[in-house]
Structure 1
Amino acid sequence: MFGSVAAKIKDAEKIVFVTGAGISQESGISTFRGKDGYWRRYDPMQLATIEAFYENPKLVWEWYEDRRRTILAARPNAGHTAIAELAKYKEVIVLTQNIDGLHQRAGSRNVYELHGSIIRIKCTACTFVENITSGFDVLPPKCVCGSILRPDVVWFGEPLPQHVWADAIMHAQSCDVMVIAGTSLLVSPANSLPFYAKQNGATLIEVNPERTVMSDEMDLSLRQTSAAILPQLVSLFK
């Protein structure tokens, strides 16, 4: 399956995974850009911008509450658990665009959430941040300071958390193998991470049922799902 790059994988000291919505699709969480994706059914400009939030915070919160219930009901799949298991053999870093927390629930420890987390909230005015697992009696919820709370996710037009992004670049630049799993590589700046790795001479492996805009840059492209392929990656070390 991994052919000519198998030796490089086995010899690697550090493996970085860049993951997107596709890896969680098999856990029942819709992707954003696929044929059944969220953005096919909703206007992102009405749900995922700070302007939309301030215009109608109740609508945005209702949508995110619905998404959060779906996510909390989901379970990590074989792709998530394979990444966690690989950490028994190699240094493994996960740079994820997902906000669902499934990597952590599968057992991965070194996870950098580029786009935030749907199970965290933060205040729009003060420094309050907290994880949540239950719903709110009133939407939009208010902070103790009296300001509106919002999901701790990155919306369109907002920058990534700079400390998280700086660490992501550092890990991309220092890995031996980068596995890009379940992402279309259309979203900037996360789609620049493979280039940081390639500049360091890392082996690039793409796991995606469909061709992506960066397929030609890959050392190996595997046209299957993460749940099908990643357990086979772990088997190289058993």
Structure 2
Amino acid sequence: MKKKLVVLSGAGISAESGIKTFRDSDGLWEGHDVMEVASPEGWRKNQELVLDFYNKRRQQLKEVKPNRAHEILAELQDDFDVNIITQNVDDLHERAGSKNVLHLHGELLKVRSVHNEKYILDWTEDINIGDFDDNGNQLRPHIVWFGEAVPALEQAIPLVMQADYLIVIGTSLQVYPAAGLIDFAKPEAELFYIDLKPARISNLKNPLEIIAETASEGMRILKEKLLRK
């Protein structure tokens, strides 16, 4: 029976593919105040700006490819029962071949109705004012904005609780509620943290092995380590 390997991934893994991390050091996201483009208030204030912002992100996604870190995680499915819980809204894990990917913060290639969060459609092109659901309600990006609930957490917690190995990669674990997931690891689970500039994670019940490398190099090192176990 394959051991269970769970991955918590963040912006750092996609950065190697050319996708900008969520916020630059100046607190802006692609030149915008985050609250203008990633909050219900920003949406109410200027729908066209928000749609244009995500339309550009969607077009950028078509120009990038999965990197070696994404590919190694997919390869580990041969030897482990792998589940990926990602804070990223891109589809690079899936394009690399990972089968079980849970998106905590939504997906760039999906839209949903403003009045029915369960009305979700696959969507690869621009969203425009006047793109409606079946009841004439505007469609919006299927993204969890600041101040909105994170429904996928209910699925994520049991996955973490079952993990034999838990890998944190490309995320500082500073954004809640996602950051709290690591606390659900069982006492005997082995934890690994891959980040070129690892943040300090305190109050952990489990020992944590830090690999201070890029996502791709860190996953290369860790794959060899895991396959020797």
Partner of 2:119: 128
- 1:158 is aligned, of 142, 148, 153, to 148
The equivalent residue for 1:43 is 33
- Which of 172, 180, 201 is the equivalent residue of 2:188? 201
Task: Measure, in 2, the Cα distance between the counterparts of 1:110 and 1:148.
Answer: 30
Identity, in percent, stands at 34
Say if 1:31 and 1:39 are closer, same or farther in 2 by CA, change over 3 A: same
* 3-state SS in 1 of match to 2:13: helix
Which structure 2 segments of 5+ residues have no match?
Answer: none
Please tell me the residue identity of whatever aligns with 2:21.
Answer: T
Unaligned ranges ≥5, structure 1: 1-10
In structure 1, what is the Cα distance between the partners aligned to 2:51 and 2:130? 6
- TM-score normalized by structure 1? 0.87
Contact between 2:58 and 2:125, CA under 8 Å: does it hold in 1? no
Q: Is the 8 A contact 1:30 1:37 kept in 2?
A: no
Once the 2 structures are TM-superposed, how far is the Cα of residue 125 of structure 1 from its aligned partner? Answer: 1.7
Alpha-carbon contact 2:193-2:209 (below 8 Å) kept: yes
1:60, distance to aligned residue in structure 2 (A): 0.3
Residue 234, structure 1, aligned to residue 226, structure 2: no
Tell me which moved more, 22-31 or 223-232.
223-232
- Which letter does structure 2 place at the counterpart of 1:92? V
Q: What code does the residue aligned with 1:214 have?
A: I
Q: Is the 8 A contact 1:122 1:151 kept in 2?
A: yes
Change (3 A) 1:219 1:190: same
Which residue does the alignment assign to 1:24? 14
Equivalent residue letter for 1:151: P
C-alpha distance in structure 1 between counterparts of 2:36 and 2:142, whole Å: 17
- Counterpart position of 2:176: 188
Aligned to 2:81: 91
Moved more, 225-234 or 93-102: 225-234
- 2:216 maps to 1:224: no
Q: Which residue identity is paired with 1:48? A: A
Q: In structure 1, the residue corresponding to 2:121 is in which secondary structure?
A: strand
How many pairs align? 224
Conserved? CA contact 1:12–1:176, under 8 Å: no
Tell me which residue corresponds to 2:200. 213
* Alpha-carbon offset, residue 101 of structure 1: 1.1
Q: What is the CA–CA distance in structure 1 between the aligned matches of 2:56 and 2:203, rounded to whole Å?
A: 38
Contact 1:173 1:200 in 2 (8 A): no
CA distance in 2, matches of 1:147, 1:187: 31
Letter in 1 for 2:182: P
How far off is 1:231 after superposition? 2.4
**Higher helix proportion:** 1
Alignment match of 1:14 (pick from 4, 25, 43) = 4
Following the alignment from structure 2 to structure 1, what is the Cα–Cα distance between the partners of residues 108 and 220? Answer: 27
Native 8 Å contact 1:99 1:117 kept in 2 = yes
Give 1:129 deviation, angstroms.
Answer: 1.2
1:33 to 1:135, Cα distance in 2 relative to 1, 3 A: closer
Q: Distance in 2 between matches of 1:31 and 1:231?
A: 22
The 10-residue stretch of structure 1 (51-60 or 216-225) with the greater mean CA deviation from structure 2 = 216-225
Deviation at 1:177, TM superposition (A): 1.0
Equivalent pair of 2:169/2:194 in contact (CA under 8 Å): yes
Shift of 1:54: 1.7
Q: Report the TM-score, using the length of structure 2 for normalisation.
A: 0.90
Task: Give the Cα–Cα distance (whole angstroms) in 1 for the partners of residues 139 and 167 of structure 2.
Answer: 35
Correspondences of 1:133-152 after superposition (within 5 Å): 133-136=124-127, 138-139=128-129, 141-152=131-142
Q: CA deviation at 1:39?
A: 3.1
Asked if the contact 1:185–1:213 (Cα under 8 Å) also holds between the matched residues in 2, the reply is no
Q: Is the 8 A contact 2:2 2:79 kept in 1?
A: no
Shift of 1:40: 7.2
Aligned-residue offset at 1:133: 1.4
